[in-house]
Chain A
Amino acid sequence: MSFSSPFAASTAKAGHGSIKLSILPPDTPVLRDVSYQYPLKLVAPDPLPPSEDKSNGHAPRLVHTVFLLTYGGGIVAGDAIDLSVSLEDRTRLVLLTQGSTKIFKTPDPSLVSRQHMEVTLAAGAALVYLPDPVQPFAQTAFSQSQIYHIDGEKSSLCACDWVTSGRSARGENWDIHEYKSRNEVWASDKSGKKRLLLRDNLILDKHGRTGMQLAERMDGYSVFGTLILRGPAFSSLAQYFMVEFEALPRIGGRDWGDSAPLELLPHEQRRVQRQIREKRDGLVWSAANVRGFVLVKFASREVEGSRNFLRDMIANEGSVATSFGERALLCLK
């Protein structure tokens, strides 16, 4: 995976792509390489300066954004996409999509479409990966993996992985052959030995001896997702998720009407409004602080419920928009 020239589209294999973000001395982050092959397409709009305080010595001068696209707006049976991303120290990248990643019908269940992404984050680098959800249509087989290699406690990661039940307007409800999504975070110790820090692996297929259709196994939910947070750039967001999870009303508890304070603080008002919306959207979520990560799991009846939840949480907390720009939340609008 070495590239002799930073200018040539040096990957010749179909579906391969590469993004490299480096620092041009003294302190200007530049996209040293953005190359791709059909059916993958990468679009890099002009980088923007973050709105956060310039006196903060850690803030880079520019934040880059790259859109992951596919020709035809989706992944056709048998497609294989293989993207490698590498971020140097003091660089920040926002990875987005334009609309949900559609997975098209396969003629043969054993013909699996694949998408693989390998991300290397130097200490001090930060990635926001907040794409639209994957939308596998009926009779599809898809397998994706997102593998992150981090360097110690200083690499920052905010990655969301969510999937929907298909085209609900056409009555599709998890009518897929197979869907797999794997998220892994690895670290290396000084001797170069790799250690698995996190593995989040979702496997939806016909196995499991449940005697139930996939739709039934999903308990009426149309969207499932995981948000992975780690590192200094997202510690405040991670903390926010934990606090809000603690503040969720107890399941099966009763409101006796004697505990409501008369005047709510602004953040409490936002919380109450969000919780009302969660209830209406049939959204459930949980957050856990494990092994240096905050891991958020969520599910909702419709796509919009999860989108509302993620946007409300990330926008209300505010640090992502400040450090990475409003554009980072584009897929949640």
Chain B
Amino acid sequence: MTTPDSQQSLQDEIADLERRLQDAKARLNAVDSPTTSLQTTSDVALHALLLLADSALPLGSFAFSSGLESYLAHHKPSPPSASQLPSFHVFLRLSLSTLASTALPYVLAGYRNPADIETLDNDFDASTPCTVARRASIAQGRALLTVWERSYKSQYSSTATEISGDDSSPTQGSAAAEALISFSSALRKSDLINAHLAPLWGLVTCVLDVPLRDAAYLFLFSHARTVVSAAVRASVMGPYQAQAELASTELQDRIRGLIEEGWNRKVEDAGQSVPVMDLWVGRHEKLYSRIFNS
């Protein structure tokens, strides 16, 4: 049971490493021939990464605090004037840890096995026991699907066929594009499909030809950015400090470490590593006053 999976992940890793090697070679050759096709490939990936990393990407993430607001309500500082910053740091760590143990395996699987997207979506839904978290994940997943449909689809599904046109076998990207197109049309017909963010993030980044490791990194980083920006709006910190948090090597090391830890974790083994997180997020509905949806 484990062999095909670990083989798969090894193959992915090899593909990733090969891509990086080619990328590095391309950069070495860049002085001589600045317009090699390999150079273009890495530019394509970078461009897609920039698109997805844009804070103007309309996923509606600003509406969610991922439990921060509820957490702060459960941890009132005493005296009330005391800083909530230490509290916030604990929360950010726990929140990233939870996301890496519950959602990251689905990002990786969505990227590696585009054809499984419907099963991944169902299983992720079955594994998200909390209404509030579920709502947030589905809202952002559907928003990502809408962005794909309205903004990326025409561009990227044609590029995918172009590239595969040279090859006799379809590339991973074009298979992923097909899976994405059929998933989004199935979404309209079936009420069993939810469109959760994590597996779709994997699938969309695959279609956009972003390297898997970068896709995973951006997934965790975007979450950190959402939580940090929620902290700014909850008056825990100012905007400059927020940028300092995001720039910190601590955060970089943490994200890198979490990807390392989770790289070979199967979706069946995704689970909650911080059980109290489910309570904080689940009890968000019980807050007297709220500025966020989660």
Contacts and interface: CB of A to CB of B under 8 A. Distances in A.
Interface of A: 180, 182, 195-205, 207-212, 217-219, 221, 224, 226, 245, 248, 250-254, 284-291, 295, 297-299
Given A180-B271, A199-B127, A209-B261, 12 more contacts: A195-B122, A207-B261, A209-B96, A210-B274, A212-B93, A251-B287, A284-B74, A286-B283, A290-B131, A291-B125, A297-B282, A299-B275
Contact of A285 (B93, B101, B129, B279): B279
Q: How large is the interface on B (under 10, 10 to 19, 20 to 34, 35 or more residues)?
A: 35 or more
Contacts of B271: 180, 182, 199, 201-203
Given A199-B127, A295-B129, A251 B273 contact: no
B6 to A, nearest CB: 18
Given A207-B261, A210-B94, A217-B94, A201 B272 contact: yes
Contacts, number: 123
8 contacts: A199-B271, A209-B93, A210-B97, A217-B274, A251-B286, A284-B279, A288-B130, A299-B276
B100 interface: yes
Contacts of B122: 195-196
Given A209-B97, A286-B278, A202 B74 contact: no
B283 A250 contact: no
B77 to A, nearest CB: 13
Interface in B115-149: 122-123, 125-131, 134
Contacts of A297: 129-130, 275, 278-279, 282
A65 B283 CA distance: 35
A253 B283 contact: no
Contacts of B270: 201
A226 B94 CA distance: 20
A299 B280 CA distance: 11
B287 A250 contact: yes
A212 B70 CA distance: 21
B288 A199 contact: no
B134 A290 contact: yes
A208 B123 CA distance: 22
Contacts of B275: 202, 204, 218, 224, 297, 299
Contact of B286 (A212, A248, A291, A299): A248
A289 B272 CA distance: 19
Contacts of A197: 126
A309 to B, nearest CB: 13
Contacts of A286: 130, 278-279, 282-283, 286
Contact of A288 (B129, B288, B289): B129
Interface in B259-294: 261, 269-276, 278-279, 282-283, 286-289
Interface string B201-226: 00000000000000000000000000
A250 B286 contact: yes
Nearest to B72: A252
Give the most central of A199, A200, A208: most B CB within 10 Å: A208
A134 to B, nearest CB: 13
Given A196-B126, A288-B129, A289-B131, A207 B287 contact: no
B126 A198 contact: yes
B272 A202 contact: yes
Contacts of B73: 251-252
A299 B278 CA distance: 10
B38 interface: no
B45 interface: no
Contacts of A245: 286
A67 to B, nearest CB: 27
B68 to A, nearest CB: 14
Contact of B258 (A180, A201, A209): A209
B60 interface: no
B73 to A, nearest CB: 5
Give the most central of A202, A251, A253, A285: most B CB within 10 Å: A251
B170 interface: no
B254 interface: yes
Contacts of A195: 122
Contact of B276 (A198, A203, A219): A219
B123 A199 contact: yes
A225 B146 CA distance: 38
A200 B288 contact: no
A198 B271 CA distance: 12
A205 to B, nearest CB: 8
Nearest to A286: B282
Give the most central of A197, A199, A200, A284: most B CB within 10 Å: A199
A54 B101 CA distance: 49
A54 B129 CA distance: 36
Given A209-B257, A252-B289, A288-B131, A199 B126 contact: yes
A260 B125 CA distance: 40
Interface in B59-78: 70, 73-74
Contacts of A248: 286
B284 to A, nearest CB: 9
A284 B127 CA distance: 21
A196 B268 CA distance: 11
B127 A221 contact: no
Give 6 nearest A-B pairs by CB, closest first: A201-B271, A286-B282, A208-B97, A253-B288, A250-B288, A252-B288
A87 B100 CA distance: 38
A201 B94 contact: no
Nearest to B289: A252
A78 B138 CA distance: 41
Contacts of A251: 70, 73-74, 283, 286-288
